[in-house]
Amino acid sequence: MGAGVKGIILLSFSASVGLTFLLLACALPQYGMWWPMFVLIFYLLAPVPYLLAKRISDSTSTSGVAWETAIFLTSVLVVSAYGLPIVLAHTPIGKPAIQWGACALVLSGNTVMFLTILGFFLVFRDNDGFSYSAW
């Protein structure tokens, strides 16, 4: 097996572990609330600023307005993904939306998923295969 296949297998395994943590936070009988599934939106949106900056940037360097904006927006999305379960578990009035155990599972799932997304971009950084100079 090549290095690319091993990377894909490792990334898919770690993504399944992260999603399992998230699913356990929702589906275990003692928790039973599906509010933490909103974190999936952050998983889908987190790579978008980087992909857009990579698409519109002409140079190979990672500096400039597009890259700085992409880093800022990605940071906002990642911090929001960590903040959402904490806010849901810390509601001040009455019973919290989720329990702290579910919050811990979501936070650990967030860590695994965002490390998986980072790993994907590090493994496949230079394997784009597309160049404007080829035209």
Q: Return the pLDDT at 126.
A: 65
Reported pTM: 0.85
DSSP assignment of 29-95: TTT---GGGGHHHHHHHTTHHHHHHHHH--SSSS-SHHHHHHHHHHHHHHHHHHHHHHHHHT-SSSS
The predicted pLDDT at position 96 comes to 83
Mean pLDDT, the chain, whole residue set: 88
Over residues 41-57, mean pLDDT: 92
Q: What percent of the chain has pLDDT over 90?
A: 63
Whether residue 128 has pLDDT greater than 50 = yes
Per-residue pLDDT, 134: 46
